[in-house]
Amino acid sequence: MSTTTAVDPTARARDLLGVSRLTNQALTTWLHGLPGVDQVGCEARAAGLGTRSIKTSSKAWAIDLAISMIDLTTLEGADTPGKVRGLAARAVTPDPSDLTTPRPAAVCVYGDMVEIAKEALGDTGVKVAAVATAFPSGRASRAVKLADTTDAVQAGADEIDMVIDRGAFLAGDYLRVFREIAETKEACGDARLKVIMETGELVTYDNVRRASWLSMLAGGDFIKTSTGKISPAATLPVTLVMLEAVRDWQGLTGEMVGVKPAGGIRTSKDAIKFLVTVSEVAGEEWLDNTWFRFGASSLLNDLILQRQKMATGAYSGADYVADDAPSGY
């Protein structure tokens, strides 16, 4: 199954919207024609899914799956080559006491650290993801954003995590957001594109739904909640809305799009709540790190502690697990 969108987003958008020319008015009419989100119903369903219990055997499987879905992340101004190499080493060997522990899906860094991460990871199969487009604010010219993306791809990034222009979105300039995503996708080449919507700034679930559909329409391979730099970040109700969007997008177009909640997911218990929600809302097809990721670092620590407890019957001390998670994740 292809994991990239090999179509012209503008041509597809014209077809789906039934227009000869893509305009902001056409996008506005289409996006505001989407069904509204029942806030009370959404939050009640998320709360119900969050209380589901799973069997011990399923828990062991879920913990390994969650580890394999992590984008192990460091996005600090104080990042150094040594810190990135250390994070890469952690991704390659998450638990030196148990070499059967799955590896995270990717290491996520700023663009100037891509070459260092790429060299450190080698042929281990762990991807390198780079944030781009003036992360986290998104406040830069389009030329700068596209250059940011191109530089990261040329340095070897397998995946690009871009941020949308939230100001343009909230002002109703959907065409500007669409074009920026579509042009960034083109600049990605073979790299997969994750579109960060910064849902904490979008305020309403209706806006989250509209931003999700706009991001997919413009060619995003993933929709992502947050930069991890503001609060609230990844919440279960917001992720539920996004999962409904990718499910319905597949029903409309036949294409799968991934989902990545990021920021604030720190415990195994929380991760399992998200996995249950993925299964119940989008479907089992998304229970794979090709289509679902966690943007996190501290989450890995707790997953490994829980994994060790299931293997030995006792918790290891926190001192036995690396604590290299940056703030915000």
What total number of domains does the chain contain?
1
Distance, in Å, from the CA atom of 94 to the CA atom of 30, rounded to the nearest integer, reads 45
CA 191 to chain CA centroid, Å, is: 14
Query: Does residue 191 lie in a domain region?
Result: yes
> Which of 145, 185, 194, 224 does the annotation list as catalytic?
224
Q: For residue 221, indicate whether it is catalytic.
A: no
146 lies in some domain:
yes
Catalytic one of 71, 260, 270, 273: 260
Burial of 248 (0-12, 13-18, 19+ CB in 10 A): middle
Task: Identify whether 273 is a catalytic site residue.
Answer: no
CATH (domain of 133): 3.20.20.70
Domain assignment of residue 9, yes or no: no
Nearest of 147, 142, 145, 123 to residue 134 by alpha carbon: 145
Residue 202 maps to a domain: yes
Q: What is the DSSP string of 256-298?
A: --EEE-BSS--SHHHHHHHHHHIIIII-GGG-STTTB-EEESH
Q: Which amino acid is at 322?
A: A
224 is catalytic: yes
Containing 127, the helix (H) or strand (E) segment is strand 127-132
Q: Copy the structure tokens of residue 167.
A: 């100001």
Specify the pLDDT at position 140: 96
Q: Which of 71, 95, 158, 161 is catalytic?
A: 161
The CA distance from 66 to 52, in Å, is 17
pLDDT (tens, 9 = 90+) of the chain, 329 residues, equals: 445 446 899 999 999 999 999 999 999 999 999 999 999 999 999 999 999 888 887 999 999 999 999 999 999 999 999 999 999 999 999 999 999 999 999 999 999 999 999 999 999 999 999 999 999 999 999 999 999 999 999 999 999 999 999 999 999 999 999 999 999 999 999 999 999 999 999 999 999 999 999 999 999 999 999 999 998 999 999 999 999 999 999 999 999 999 999 999 999 999 999 999 999 999 999 999 999 999 987 899 999 999 999 988 776 665 555 555 554 45
Q: Is the residue at 189 inside a domain?
A: yes
pLDDT at 324: 56
The predicted structure's pLDDT at residue 6: 65
For residue 18, what are the contacts with CB-CB under 8 A and spacing of at least 6?
none
Neighbouring CB atoms inside 10 A of 209's CB total 23
Determine, yes or no, domain membership for 180.
yes
Structural domain boundaries enclosing 79: 35-313
Buried b (16+ CB within 10 A) or exposed e, 215-246: bbbbbbbbbbbbbbbeeebbbbbbbbbbbbbb
- Report yes or no on 26 lying in a domain: no
The answer to whether position 301 is within a domain reads yes
Side chain identity at 117, as an amino acid letter? A
CA gap 135, 189 in Å, rounded: 20
DSSP 171-200: TT-HHHHHHHHHHHHHHHTTSEEEEE--HH
